[in-house]
Amino acid sequence: MYLMYVDESGDPGMGVHSSPHFILTGLIINQNEWDKYLLRLKAFRKSIKTKYGLNQRTEIHSTELIRINKLEEYKSISKTNRINILKEYGAEIPRIFDTAKIINICLLKADYQEIGEIQKVAWQRLIQRYDTFLKKMATDKGIIISDDTNSLVLMQLLRKMRVYNPTPSYFGGTYQAPTDSIIEDIFMRSSQHSYFIQTVDVVCHLLYRKEFPKGSLRKYSLELQFQKLEPILLKEACRNDPFGIVRK
């Protein structure tokens, strides 16, 4: 059995105050590796506590590490050190999850017209590639565990894709590829209570910083941190992209 932990960056809205992007990241792990990864995550969080004074129970939230909004616990840590936490986390992920794989979807809203359409498309792309990965593992099935999002829309999407999922062919046209390797509906889990989803949040945010670098943060080299994840990126997800990022 495989588990895919998922988080989003950006919002599905289309207004002037909405994000220009929608990013979806999935971290795929084998159930037999789960305990090992958890122990490594705990050890890493303990090292962060020792070095920066961040309590192990405090959620790692990438956006808050850059600019504090809700997490009061971050206020005792300087901005430079908060960004160092983010950078060190990103560098540690391939070591912690040495046999895992990461799928990344990065879509631009300019390519979509309807409200919510981009979220459905992004999830469809992610589900398709996860199902393809599972099929290559022969007899293995998988489940999806996501940070809280639009559960009803995703339930309907996944159930539909199990029955009807026309997929573009390299030879032109489409063929039916039901996503029958994924069992159950998508499980929702608050990132506050999951080191695994917090890890995906870090990956998602580093991809965002790579794709949309901000001038005021260039001195921290945040736009260069995503490439440290290369050893565990599922590059087969998009062979036209050097990091396997799905963009359409």
pLDDT digits (tens, 9 = 90+) for 180-224: 999 999 999 999 999 999 999 999 999 999 999 998 898 999 999
Q: Which of 6-20, 35-49, 123-137, 202-216 has the lowest mean pLDDT?
A: 6-20
User: What total number of domains does the chain contain?
Assistant: 1
Across the range 80-106, mean pLDDT stands at 98
Q: Give the Cα separation of 141 and 245 in Å (integer).
A: 23
Residue closest to 132 by CA, chosen among 35, 227, 26:
26
Q: Does residue 13 fall inside a structural domain?
A: yes
Q: 120-157 burial string, b = 16+ CB within 10 Å, else e?
A: bbbbbbbbbbbbbbbeeeeeeebbbbbbebbeeebeeb
Calpha distance 111→7 (Å, rounded): 21
Residue range of the domain that includes 113 = 2-237
For the record, the structure tokens of 80 come out as 């430079």
Domain contains 175: yes
- Within a domain: residue 244? no
* Percent of the chain residues topping a pLDDT of 90: 79
Query: Quick check: 226 and 236 in contact, CB under 8 A?
Result: no
- What is the pLDDT averaged over residues 60-87? 95
Token representation of residue 18: 């909405």
CATH number, domain containing residue 165: 3.30.420.10
Is the residue at 212 inside a domain? Answer: yes
- 161 pLDDT higher than 70: yes
Tokens of 170: 């390299």
pLDDT grade for 170, boundaries at 50, 70 and 90 = low
The verdict on residue 92 lying in a domain is: yes
**Is residue 15 pLDDT above 80, yes or no?**
no
* pLDDT at residue number 115: 67
What are the helix (H) ranges across 173-231? 195-211
pLDDT at 19: 85
Q: What pLDDT was estimated at residue 171?
A: 65
247 assigned to some structural domain: no
User: What predicted TM-score, i.e. pTM, was given to this entire model?
Assistant: 0.94
Residue 90 lies in a domain: yes
Q: Is the dihedral of CA 102, 237, 106, 14 positive or negative?
A: negative
- 138 band by pLDDT with thresholds 50, 70 and 90: confident
Q: Is residue 246 assigned to a domain?
A: no
